[in-house]
Amino acid sequence: MIGVQRFSLFNLLCLIIFLAVVLGQENAQTMRDKASLLSFKTAIVSDPQHVLEDWNSLGVHVCNWSGIRCNKGRDQVVELDLSGRSLRGPISPALANLSSLSILDLSRNLFEGHIPGEIGSLFNLRQLSLSSNLLEGNIAAELGFLHKLVYLDLGSNRLEGEIPGTLFCNHSSSSLQYIDLSNNSLSGKIPLADGCKLKQLRFLLLWSNHLVGQVPAALANSSGLEWLDLESNMLSGKLPLEIIQKMPQLQYLYLSYNGFVSHNGNTNLEPFLTSLVNASNFQELELAGNNLGGEIPPIIGNLSTNLVQIHLDANLLYGSIPPQISNLVNLTLLNLSSNLLNGTIPPKLCQMTKLERVYLSNNSFSGEIPPALGDIPHLGLLDLSKNKLSGSIPDSFANLSQLRRLLLYENQLSGTIPPSLGKCINLEILDLSHNQISGVIPSEVAGLRSLKLYLNLSSNHLHGPLPMELSKMDMVLAVDLSSNNLSGTIPSQLGSCIAIEYLNLSVNSLEGPLPVSIGKLPYLQKLDVSSNQLIGEIPESLQDSLTLKKVNFSFNNFSGNVSSKGAFSSLTIDSFLGNVGLCGSIKGLPNCRKKHAHHLAILSILLSLLITPIFCIFGYPLMHRSKFQRHLAIFDHGDLRDDEEEEKKELKYPRISYEQLVEATGGFSASSLIGAGRFGHVYKGVLQDNSVIAVKVLDLKTDGEILGSFKRECQVLKRTRHRNLIRIITACSRPDFKALVLPLMSNGSLERHLYSSHGLSHGLNLIQLVSICNDVAEGVAYLHHHSPVRVVHCDLKPSNILLDDDMTALVTDFGIARLVKGSDENIPTNDSTSFSSADGLLCGSIGYIAPEYGMGKCASIEGDVFSFGVLLLEIVTGRRPTDVLFHEGSSLHEWVKSHYPSRVDSIVQQAIDRCVPDSMPKQYNKIWWDVVLELIELGLMCAQYNPSMRPSMQDVAHEMGRVKEYISNPSSLLIEEVGLKVDALSLG
């Protein structure tokens, strides 16, 4: 027993000594990890979110620091995740001392400089994520020695040079499952030499670089590859069928916008498509924008039935569409446009009942349009333009309840326009131009209220009068009925098309006068009525238009005096040719003869002598009666308070009488007019104390609507106060006159700075534009989230953004705003200060209106976010949303989205060329690039179709603030990636 006790005591003593040694070693490891992390922290120059504040705090164990995770024994750091934390500075090589580190995620920050090669000594590392930073230089070759690495993401940085061979070709790379080096400036070949084996690889993303050469044959060893994206490089050679055929798990293959060719001297696409047949879960194929020749082989029908998208556009393919393609029953998008295809459109195409978008434009298809196309239930876009199609338009298109865009222009179609097209209640674009269509314009089609973008029936053989039903198109942006045989008069009811910006009725046989209502269209920019038989005087309403830019009255029978003032000030004789009865001050027109001028002068004097005494007797006292004073509404722009406090605050503002407004504006003369809109006119005024004001006078001819607008704007301006919202000086309200008095913004609206047509010699630079966008975001975020009574603006656009002396942006024009009480973001239907769709108001301006508004949804803060997104994209592209709608056939955000991400470089470069003056430092070119790309990504996120997917305006303002600080002080803040991102690979 004694021996056993001695032995037990001895063993216990050994165990204690052993544990002490082990614990001592573990404590030493923890101290080394702690020292490494503190060294990493020391290199951080900006931590705006205060993420690292608790690092080294008294009493806080290193395993409890932000972004740190330790093993179960809490003695070794195994994970450092600081993604998306706005950190700025270099990545310290001291991280190499975290010997047990398994996950290092520093993505979506502003880390700069080179990637430390010392990271290659973290032999336990399984995930390395450094994407979306400002890292530059070459990829460190030492990263190829991370033996256990499973996930590598270095995408969206400034990396350059060749990809090191050790990264792909090393015994340590055999465990890699995910590689993302996309969106950098990497060059050279893909470094996969023979013998390299990435057997575990599932995702390889190298898009948007400068890679050259062929796809390496060794990639065939990655037989488990699911996602291969080599898009937008400079790769060449034959399509890699020997590689692809060994990838049965492949789901996504993106090879677009390279220089690939097909086999057998670029004549045979069948071998490559055959290589994809065994990929049973294949879903998307993109081969657009290459040099592919040959026919589309029947084998395409043997591809996986899981295939949902095929992009073969912008190639050199010829021949017909094989009917076997109809086997792809789950296909939603088929794009074969811009090739050399011919033959007829196979009726079997209509068996693909899940098709949503079909692009067959710019080919040589002939024959008739298959009526069975009308049996595709979900078809939303059909583009058959620029072909040689003949016959009539099928009546069956009436069955396409989801059809939004029908493009059949530049074919050889004949027959009449089927009235049944009027049943396509969701149609937004109808373009049948440049065909041989005859007959009259059906009233059912003319009355399509769903048309929001454009109606183009030009260059056909249409005859008969303009249908009165055209006036129902109150959302349409452009109407082109030119080059037909239309007759009769132009109906004055066209003035009801209040959203129209482009109207072309030229080269017809229209007669009678030009209606005055046309000139009152609030957004009309281009009008062409040339080569008709119109008579009478040109309406003065056109000259008074503040939006009209281009007009053509040539070759009619117009007569009378034409002034060179107003909208006509920039016109030349070219707009008036062939009208022998016209005279006036336009250069090239004959001078008008002055008749009975002395009689007119005498009459004017007599009227003056008669009216002045009457005004003195009756008018002046009336204007000073206390009853009139009670109609003056003086609003404070502070928070809501009780009436007594409000009355005290009102005394701080001057009471400006109607007489003073008349005097300040020269009797509201045309020379004082500085703007006009749907609800009235804006005049510049100078008060007796020389203060400059803007007087917004409402047009009371449309009583209820204008009164509602006046009340809304008063309510909004009374209840809000923010540096980026226009403030009210005073208001004048009486039964026959209503006006708001506002401070005059010396730099005008953002619109006049964005477009040279407003006469500015130069636009705004990128720093100014970012600051303006930040101001707008701050102002709208206040309306949505911080105002005492929350407000939905409903009409956010450049013309409603004013700039003061310091170029600070102020949001204005709340004429159709909605006030939202309480915390509910929806408009309460029983609230007297809320305004539902029953108001009959167009909820915004064409091009900026959220899509859900077109489906009868009430105004919402998400709608404002959508408009702000469009505004960002407009600023970046320099294109009005309406211009894109007409010329491109899609909305601005859809057009930009179609270029993102693979083809966005050209948009970014054009924005930099336009908005970055030569005087700005060239070393910041990558900074400008990142800022523009961030604006695009944020704009696309805001303009998402689903309202619930859009960020809040508060989050948008936060992001804009960071971009503003970043561009003002480069590398100071994170520019987060907001585009779509591939789901991270599970590491188990």
At residue 969, does pLDDT exceed 90?
A: no
Measured CA angle at 107 (ends 105, 108), to 5 deg? 150
pLDDT score of 987: 31
Query: pLDDT band at 985, cuts 50/70/90?
Result: very low
pLDDT score of 677: 64
pLDDT score of 817: 55
pLDDT score of 16: 40
Query: Among the CATH numbers 3.30.1360.10, 3.90.1310.10, 3.90.950.20, 3.30.200.20, which is that of 631-743?
Result: 3.30.200.20
What one-character DSSP code corresponds to residue 911?
H
pLDDT score of 832: 25
Mean pLDDT of 844-859: 78
What one-character DSSP code corresponds to residue 725?
B
* pLDDT tens digits for range 886-931: 555 678 888 888 888 878 888 998 888 888 877 676 667 778 888 9
Find all residues with CB under 8 Å of 214, minimum gap 6, and list them. Answer: 189, 235, 236, 237, 238, 240
* pLDDT tens digits for range 95-150: 999 999 999 999 989 899 999 999 999 999 999 999 989 999 999 999 988 989 99
pLDDT score of 843: 63
797, two tokens: 């656009």
pLDDT score of 661: 87
3-state SS string for 322-382 = CHHHHHCCCCCEEECCCCEEEECCCHHHHHCCCCCEEECCCCEEEEECCHHHHHCCCCCEE
Mean pLDDT of 662-691: 80
Q: Is the pTM of this model over 0.85?
A: no
> Any idea which of 236-250, 350-364, 632-646 has the lowest mean pLDDT?
632-646
Mean pLDDT of 393-402: 92
Mean pLDDT of 362-386: 94
Per-residue burial over 335-367, b = 16 or more CB atoms within 10 Å of its CB, e = otherwise: bbbbbebbeebbebbbbbeebbbbbbbbbebee
Whole-number Å distance between alpha carbons of 699 and 539? 19
> Any idea which of 352-356, 524-528, 686-690 has the lowest mean pLDDT?
686-690
* pLDDT tens digits for range 717-734: 555 678 888 887 777 777
Residue listed under structure tokens 């997104």? 869
Binding residues for ATP: 696
Whole-number Å distance between alpha carbons of 988 and 977? 26
Measured CA angle at 91 (ends 87, 97), to 5 deg? 125
Nearest CA to 538 among 513, 520, 503?
A: 513
Nearest CA to 416 among 473, 478, 463?
A: 463
Active site residues: 795
Query: pLDDT band at 650, cuts 50/70/90?
Result: very low
pLDDT score of 720: 65
Mean pLDDT of 683-711: 71
Q: Report the chain's C-alpha Rg in angstroms.
A: 34
3-state secondary structure of 25: helix
Cα distances (Å, whole numbers) of residue 476 to 406, 442, 480, 893? 15, 17, 11, 18
At residue 622, does pLDDT exceed 80?
A: no
pLDDT score of 204: 95
3-state helix, strand, coil in the chain (%, to 5): 35, 20, 45
Q: DSSP letter string over 514-575? A: PPHHHHT-TT--EEE--SSEEEEPPPHHHHT-SS--EEE--SSEEEEEE-SSGGGGG--GGG
Query: pLDDT band at 678, cuts 50/70/90?
Result: low
> Any idea which of 29-43, 510-524, 717-731, 955-969 has the lowest mean pLDDT?
717-731
981, two tokens: 């991102």
Nearest CA to 172 among 223, 119, 217?
A: 119
pLDDT score of 628: 26
CATH 1.10.510.10 placement within the chain: 750-968
217 or 787: which leads in pLDDT = 217
Whole-number Å distance between alpha carbons of 195 and 251? 25
Query: pLDDT band at 168, cuts 50/70/90?
Result: confident
At residue 605, does pLDDT exceed 60?
A: no
pLDDT score of 719: 58
pLDDT score of 615: 36
Mean pLDDT of 253-272: 95
Report whether 633 contacts 733 (CB < 8 A).
yes
At residue 616, does pLDDT exceed 90?
A: no
Whole-number Å distance between alpha carbons of 153 and 106? 10
Query: pLDDT band at 627, cuts 50/70/90?
Result: very low
How many CB atoms within 10 Å of residue 939?
Answer: 27
3-state secondary structure of 657: coil
3-state secondary structure of 405: strand
What one-character DSSP code corresponds to residue 147?
T
Report whether 330 contacts 353 (CB < 8 A).
no
> Any idea which of 219-228, 794-803, 870-879, 973-982 has the lowest mean pLDDT?
973-982
How many CB atoms within 10 Å of residue 274?
Answer: 17
pLDDT score of 7: 41
Mean pLDDT of 611-636: 32
pLDDT score of 606: 42
Query: pLDDT band at 633, cuts 50/70/90?
Result: very low
* Cα dihedral sign, 127-161-201-937: positive
Cα distances (Å, whole numbers) of residue 397 to 2, 380, 427, 461, 866? 103, 11, 11, 22, 31
Tell me the percentage of the chain whose pLDDT exceeds 90: 49
522, two tokens: 């609030």
**Residue 369 carries which side chain, given as an amino acid letter?**
I
Mean pLDDT of 583-607: 65
Find all residues with CB under 8 Å of 969, minimum gap 6, and list them. Answer: none
Tell the CATH topology of 750-968. Answer: Transferase(Phosphotransferase); domain 1 (1.10.510)
Mean of the per-residue pLDDT values of the chain: 81
Whole-number Å distance between alpha carbons of 576 and 558? 9
Q: DSSP letter string over 770-812? A: HHHHHHHHHHHHHHHHTSSSEEE----SGGGEEE-TT--EEE-
Whole-number Å distance between alpha carbons of 277 and 387? 31
Is residue 931 within a helix (H) or strand (E), and if so which, with residue range? helix 925-942
